[in-house]
Amino acid sequence: MPELSYREAVRDALSRAMRDDEDVFIMGEDIAEMGGSMGVTQGMLDEFGPERVRNSPISEMALAGAAIGAAMQGMRPVAEIMYEDFLTLATEQIVNQAAKHRYMSGGQLSVPVTFRTQGGAGWSPGAQHAQQLEAWFVHIPGLKVVFASTPSDVRGLLWSSIYDDNPVIFFEHRTLYGIKEDVPDELEPIPLGEARVHRPGEDVTVIATGRLVHESLAAAEEAEQEGVSVEVVDPRTLQPLDEDALVSSVKKTNRCVVAHEAVTRMGFGAEVAAVIQYGAFDWLDAPIERVGAKFAPLPFAPVMEEFVVPHSRDVLDAIYRTVGRSNGSDGN
């Protein structure tokens, strides 16, 4: 069972799909010789050549449109949008074209395109290179949205995304690229729409995405030292959402914390809280807690960035609030 980093797991999924299927190709800005802004596609040009590892113009709208057109002609393109923030430049193509063609054609057309993109705080990139915009795309009927947090998950989910006949927005977090995990040599596809319980618990459920999965696991370790048993659940796929798994966990623990790096206001966690409210209201022993970034553009200064985005201590505070216990670290 080899150890793979998150970055290597993404590359492995892409490479295996391209070896198995000539209809799969990748395209994006500087993904060929340079290997992309985060080095994910390094070495792939040498193996697959410039026809299947295509540098695109510096135009996200053109890149998205070309990928959508190729998908509608029977290919399975994977288009890398260099920064998640730059999805804003391709939104018309993704939201008004990719998401709607299958429905508007009565199923006669499919658009099997995957838009890989990365973002997130943790390295002072400033306000225009680190937004977390997953809630925007979950709101659009016709799109599937994935946000993997571990090497094994990112590999299995990316494979499934490539072979889904619908457009998929595939989010990655830049600070996770270096984390490593033992991953089976045989690639196991992970169905879209299945949550993962990273840690079982009895007292509180924490539903977290992306980087906050790891922050929540750290908070759960600390809470355990104080006698609080925390279950950490990662939806993995934001659309479709595994509502049954989330509700079942909260019915077991009777308390819920929702955590993500995106700003709290109108974030994905609001939808999760609504799902829990509808599905497990009679089981709740405390109000649902939400953890997210403060409502501000991401500051460039490291100390300010640290202040704006959530960390394990914020998750821990929320856990303690749900069980009616103060956290000595902040005097609450």
Active site amino acids: 60, 129
Give the C-alpha separation, 11 to 225, whole Å.
38
Angle at 123 between CA 140 and CA 264, to 5 degrees: 40
- What is the dihedral angle through the alpha carbons of 3, 7, 13, 17, rounded to the nearest 10 degrees? -140
The b-or-e profile of 69-103 (16+ CB within 10 A means b, else e) is: ebbbeebbbbbbbbbbbbbebbbebbbebbbbbbe
Rounded to 10°, the helix 6-20/151-162 angle is 30
| Residue pair 325/229 in contact by the 8 Å Cβ criterion | no
The tokens for 75 are 């290919």
- Residue 45: phi, psi to the nearest 5? -60, -40
| Residue pair 114/161 in contact by the 8 Å Cβ criterion | yes
CA-to-CA separations, 10 to 150, 164, 176, 252, in angstroms, rounded = 10, 17, 11, 34
Give the C-alpha separation, 49 to 211, whole Å.
33
258 has which bridge partners?
207, 290
- CB neighbour list of residue 14: distance below 8 Å, 6 or more residues apart: 24, 26, 40, 41, 44, 78, 158, 162
Give the C-alpha separation, 165 to 261, whole Å.
29
Give the C-alpha separation, 278 to 265, whole Å.
20
